[in-house]
Amino acid sequence: MNQTLLVELQTEELPPKALVKLGAAFAAGIANGLKARDFLESDSVVTPYATPRRLAVSITRVRATSPDKSIREKVLPVTVALDKEGKPSAPLAKKLAALGFPDLKIADLERAQDGKAESFFYTYTAAGSALAGGLQDVLADTVARLPIPKLMSYQRPDGATVGFVRPVHLLVALFGEQVLPLTLLGLDAGRLTMGHRFLSHGGSIAIAHADHYAAILENEGKVIAGAEARKESIRTQLLEKAGADQVLMPEALLDEVAALVEWPVVYECHFEEEFLAVPQECLILTMQTNQKYFALTDLEGKLRPRFLIVSNIATSDPQHIVGGNERVVRPRLSDAKFFFEQDKKKTLASRLPQLASVVYHNKLGTQLERTERVARLAGAIAQRLGFDVALAERGARLAKADLLTDMVGEFPELQGIMGTYYARHDGEHDEVALAASEHYQPRFAGDKLPSTNTGLAVALADKLETLVGIWSIGLQPTGEKDPFALRRHALGVMRMLVEKRLPLRLSELLADAAGVFEGQAAKGKELRDPREEVVAFMLDRLRGMLRERGFTPNEVEAVLAQNPDRVDDVVQRLEAVQAFAALPESASLAAANKRITNILKKTEAAIGEVQESLLQEEAERKLHGAIGQVRPEVDAAFAAGDFAGTLKTLARLRDDVDAFFNDVMVMAEDEALRNNRLALLSRLHGMMNRVADISKLAA
C-alpha cells in the first residue's frame, strides 16, 4: 500500500549559510535513492524541510515493497559453458552456483546471439524488497554524501563516536502511522521530535502520521518547517512593517536570516539621525553584513533612521529585544562614522605613493605600477574616442586609492563607492569621482555600465590591462578555474563596446594595452604577447552574450566567423541577418555562398579581375550584369549602416546565382575561362559577405 514517508534528523543549530543546501541535498538524496530502488510512483511528491535544528523530507505515494522484477542474466558464452563434447562444463556449474541457481539444466537456459558470439542467458523473477531495508541503505548513503562544510565528531551517551555537521538527537522515520525500524548515528528511529526551543507548548512532540508533520510542528511546536515558507513569512512581515518606506532585502540575506529562526517575527528598531551624515552604503552594509538587519529607505532611496530585525521570539512586549538590538548596532554605526571622518583628513591623491607598497602580482609589480599602466591606457582610449584625456588619466590614477582607506579596509565591498565619496570631498571633477566606482562596472551579468565618458575609458582600461597582463604571464583561465575573473572582464569589455556603440578596433585596443607593458619583465623574462589569444577569448564571450539575447548559433556565427575587428555594430548586423533569413531567397543564397566559399578555398592561383570578353555563357553574362546593377545600391546601403537593406538588395541575385551554377562549369579546362569565372565568384563572394558570412546560415 502506498503511504507518505517522513524522515527527520533533529539536531543542534546547523550552520545557517549551509542550511538550504543541506536540506535540499538531504531530500534529494533520499528521494533519488528510493526512486532508483523503485519505491516511488511517477507522481510521488517530494517536500524538503530545513530549520536551524532539523533536516527532513516528506515523500508522498511511497511503496511498502518494491515491485518484483524480471531479470535476464547473462550466464556464460556458449564456448565456455559447453565442453568439446557439448556437455555442461565445470565453469558453467560454478557460475550457476554463484548466481544461486545450482540445479539449472542447459534446457532451462536461453541460447542467444551476444555480439559476434552466442551466450547462455537465464531469465528469472526477483522478489521486491521491503521499504525499511531499502531506506536504511539510502539514508546511510545520503548522510555520507551531504555537502557538509566541516564535519563535527561527537560522542553519543553510550560512548560511541559519530560524525555529522552538528550533533543529532532524534531520528524520525514514519511510513504513514508506522515507525520504520531504522538506525543512524547511534539513534533508533521513532516518532518524537522537538518544537521551538522557547515557544513550543511542551517538550517532545509525537508525530502521529507522516502526513501531519508540517501542521503539527507549526501548531504545537511553533516551527515553520519549510525554509521557503519561513522566507516568505519574513518577506511579508518586512513589507508590512516598512509601511510607506522601502525595505532593502537581498535574497542572500533573506536566505541567511530564514536559516537562523524557526518562528520568524519582525520588529522595528531605530538609530540616531546623526549617523545619516555617513555615506548610507556604509550604514547599510554594516547592518546587513554584521547584524543581519534590514535597512529602510524612503521612496527616493534615502536611508531612514530605522531598521527591521527578524527575531526567533514572539512576544507582546518586545522592548528588551528592540532595545538590545539598538544597543548592538550603535557601536557599529559609530565605527563607520569614525572611519569616514578619519579618511576625509587625507586626500585620495596623497595616498597614491602608498600603493607602491601593495603588491598587485609578483610578476607584474605593485598597485602603483599597475595604476600608471591603467592611466596611460585610459588616456589612449579617451584620445581615440575624443574624450577628455586629462580626466581619464586622473580618474585612473585615483580609482584604486580608496583601497588604502580605513573604511574600505573594514568593508572591502565598498571599494570604489568610497572612492567616489572621498574624491568629491577632495574637490575632484565629478567624472573623476564617479570613475572610482564606475571603473568596476559591469561587476556581474546584467549590471549597469559606466554612465560617464571618463568612467567608460577607465573601466575599459582597467579590464584590458588585467586581461593582457594576466594572460601575458600565463595565468589565463583553464576549465572552470578563473581566479582573476578574466571571463567577467572580457564580457564587460564586450558589453561596453557593443551597448555603448564605441567605434574602437579590438586590434588597436589590445595594441595599446600591450604597449603599457613594454619594457616590463616578469622575473627576468619578457612578457609574452597574448593579443591573438585574448581577441579569440573576447569574441568567444561575445558569442555567449549574443546567444543569451536570443540570436541563434548560426546567426551569431554568420557575424562573428570573420573575426570582426570592430563589434559596435554586431547587434545591427545580427538583426539584418535575422531579417535576411526570413526571406524566401535566403536558403538558396546561403547554400550558394557556402559552395562559393568552398570553391575559392581550393583555389591556389591569384584571382584577378573579371574580363567581360571571356564571359561566354548566357548565365555568367547575366550574373555579371546583375552584380554590376545592384553593386551601387549595396555599397550605398552598407555605407549608411543599413545592413538589412544591404542583404535585402543582394536577395535579388538569387535567380541569377542559381542559373549560374546550373548552366556554367566553373572549373573549366580552359585556364583563362576558369580563372575568369573564379574572379566573378570572388567578386560576388566579397559583396555577399560584407555584412556577415551568410554561408553559415546554410543547413
- Mean pLDDT score of the chain, rounded to an integer? 93
**Range with the lowest mean pLDDT among 124-138, 248-262, 521-535?**
521-535
**Range with the lowest mean pLDDT among 122-131, 297-306, 340-349, 494-503?**
122-131
CB 666 within 8 A of CB 598: no
Question: Position 551: which residue type?
Answer: F
**Range with the lowest mean pLDDT among 29-38, 58-67, 598-607, 631-640?**
598-607
Task: Check residue 113 and report its DSSP letter.
Answer: E
* Structure confidence at residue 165 (pLDDT): 95
* Structure confidence at residue 599 (pLDDT): 87
Query: What CA–CA distance (Å, rounded) separates 27 from 151?
Result: 19
The residue ranges of DSSP E strands in 354-465, in sequence order, are: 359-361, 365-366
Count CB neighbours of 610 within 10 A: 22
The residue ranges of DSSP E strands in 180-257, in sequence order, are: 183-184, 187-188, 192-194, 204-206, 246-247
Instruction: Determine the 3-state secondary structure of 668 from DSSP.
Output: coil
CATH, range 349-549: 1.10.3210
* Structure confidence at residue 699 (pLDDT): 61
* Structure confidence at residue 77 (pLDDT): 94
Cell match 542550511: residue?
Answer: 19
Query: What CA–CA distance (Å, rounded) separates 611 from 284?
Result: 75
Residues 411-442: pLDDT tens digits?
999 999 999 999 999 999 999 999 999 999 99
Q: Strand order in 69-77's β-sheet? A: 69-77, 117-126, 110-114
Distances (CA, A) of 638 to 393, 409, 572, 579, 634: 36, 53, 12, 15, 6
Per-residue confidence band for 597, with pLDDT thresholds at 50, 70 and 90: confident
Query: What CA–CA distance (Å, rounded) separates 626 from 616?
Result: 16
Instruction: Determine the 3-state secondary structure of 391 from DSSP.
Output: helix
* Structure confidence at residue 600 (pLDDT): 86
* Residues of the chain above pLDDT 70, percent: 99
CB 623 within 8 A of CB 656: yes
Query: What CA–CA distance (Å, rounded) separates 551 from 200?
Result: 56
Residues 557-584: pLDDT tens digits?
999 988 899 999 999 999 999 998 888 8
CB 647 within 8 A of CB 694: yes
* Structure confidence at residue 524 (pLDDT): 60
Phi/psi for 420 (5° steps) reads -65, -45
Nearest-10 crossing angle of helices 16-36, 251-258: 80
Residues 45-56: pLDDT tens digits?
999 999 999 999
Residues 214-268: pLDDT tens digits?
999 999 999 999 999 999 999 999 999 999 999 999 999 999 999 999 999 999 9
Count CB neighbours of 584 within 10 A: 8
Query: What CA–CA distance (Å, rounded) separates 125 from 589?
Result: 61
Give 3-state DSSP helix, strand, coil % of the chain, rounded to 5.
50, 15, 30
Residues 485-523: pLDDT tens digits?
999 999 999 999 999 999 999 999 999 999 999 877 665
The residue ranges of DSSP E strands in 485-556, in sequence order, are: 521-522, 525-526
* Structure confidence at residue 89 (pLDDT): 93
* Structure confidence at residue 523 (pLDDT): 57
Query: What CA–CA distance (Å, rounded) separates 606 from 604?
Result: 7
Domain residue ranges in the chain: 3-66+130-221, 69-126, 227-343, 349-549, 558-697
Over 80: is that where the pLDDT of 368 sits?
A: yes
Cell match 536577395: residue?
Answer: 651
Count CB neighbours of 573 within 10 A: 23
**Range with the lowest mean pLDDT among 11-15, 202-206, 361-365, 654-658?**
202-206
Per-residue confidence band for 698, with pLDDT thresholds at 50, 70 and 90: confident
| Residues across the chain | 699
Over 90: is that where the pLDDT of 203 sits?
A: no
**Which long-range CB contacts under 8 A does 588-592 form with residues at least 24 apart?**
588/654, 588/657, 588/658, 589/650, 589/651, 589/653, 589/654, 589/657, 589/688, 589/694, 590/694, 590/695, 590/696, 590/697, 590/698, 591/698, 592/657, 592/658, 592/661
C-alpha cell at 45: 511528491
Per the DSSP assignment, residues forming a β-bridge with 76 are: 120
Residues 378-409: pLDDT tens digits?
999 999 999 999 999 999 999 999 999 999 99
Instruction: Determine the 3-state secondary structure of 523 from DSSP.
Output: coil
- Rg value, the chain, Cα: 36
* Structure confidence at residue 223 (pLDDT): 97
Per-residue confidence band for 59, with pLDDT thresholds at 50, 70 and 90: very high
pTM of the complete model: 0.77
Work out the end-to-end distance of the chain between its first and last CA atoms, rounded to an integer number of angstroms: 54
Residue-wise DSSP of 469-504: HHHHTT---BTTB-TT-HHHHHHHHHHHHHHTT---
- Written out in words, the top-level CATH class of the domain with range 558-697 is mainly alpha
* Structure confidence at residue 179 (pLDDT): 97
Mean of the pLDDT values across residues 311-328?
Answer: 95
Helix or strand holding residue 295 (H, E)? strand 294-297
CB 5 within 8 A of CB 210: yes
Mean of the pLDDT values across residues 682-698?
Answer: 88
Residue-wise DSSP of 326-373: HHHHHHHHHHHHHHHHHHTTS-HHHHGGGGGGSEEETTTEEHHHHHHH
> How far does Cα 232 stand from its chain's mean position?
25
| CB hemisphere CA count around 633 (13 angstroms) | 15
Mean of the pLDDT values across residues 3-12?
Answer: 97
Over 90: is that where the pLDDT of 586 sits?
A: no
Over 70: is that where the pLDDT of 61 sits?
A: yes
Query: What CA–CA distance (Å, rounded) separates 476 from 474?
Result: 6
| CB hemisphere CA count around 683 (13 angstroms) | 20
The residues near 341 (Cβ < 8 Å, ≥ 6 apart) are none
* Structure confidence at residue 31 (pLDDT): 97
The residues near 38 (Cβ < 8 Å, ≥ 6 apart) are 63, 66, 67, 69, 128
Tell me the longest C-alpha to C-alpha distance in the chain: 105
